[in-house]
Amino acid sequence: MSDGLVRPEDWDDPVQLPDVGTVRRVLVPFDGSHHAERALAWAALAAAAAEAEVVVMVAYEPPLTKKGRGGTYVEAIRDALDDEAKALAAEAVELLTAAGCRARGVVIRGEAAAATLETVETDDCDLVVLGRRGLSSELAGIAGTLERFRSSLQGGVAEKVARHADVAVMVV
């Protein structure tokens, strides 16, 4: 009598450890949050074990405007956001370098999950290490609560990356 389950032909073979290749490059999407700091620490640990490079990626979304409607003001904000993102990436790279890791920073203008997936491809990353929550969830009061609620409905950056990345993803 069959139990109704369909099992692979090799079901009774011994368990094997598959070859997953070598980690050469670890990507850390970084926004300065406490969870991102923990991801940085885990990435440093993984990179040290594999003698891999760490790529720190900072993404930001610039404000949008129609031509002639505050365009000069928006350009100043975009420039300030870009400068802040570069400084944040440099700070993280400095921490990793001080810890003995090879590291470099990249700044991407765009949504964090899409920027992460793009960087995995363009920089040939083998592992992504990211925090389970980002900076927006650390906001005080109602804004943070609303962000956590929104993320639970839509899926946050970590969930989107884990779901769509073609490489290993470690969420911390």
How does pLDDT run across 41-71, given as a tens digit for each residue? 999 999 999 999 999 999 998 877 666 665 6
- Average the pLDDT over 98-118 and give the result: 97
**What is the model's pLDDT at position 10?**
83
Beta strands in the chain (DSSP E): 25-29, 53-60, 102-109, 127-130, 168-171
pLDDT over threshold 50, residue 153: no
pTM listed for this prediction:
0.81
**What is the model's pLDDT at position 14?**
86
- Pick from 2, 50, 8: which is nearest to 26 by CA? 50
pLDDT class for 162, splitting at 50, 70, 90?
very high
**Structural domains in the chain plus CATH codes:** 25-171 (3.40.50.620)
pLDDT over threshold 70, residue 9: yes
CA–CA distance, 98 with 67 (Å, rounded to integer): 45
95: left (phi over 0), alpha (psi -120 to 50) or beta: alpha
pLDDT over threshold 90, residue 29: yes
- Average the pLDDT over 150-166 and give the result: 79
What whole-number percentage of the chain has pLDDT above 70?
79
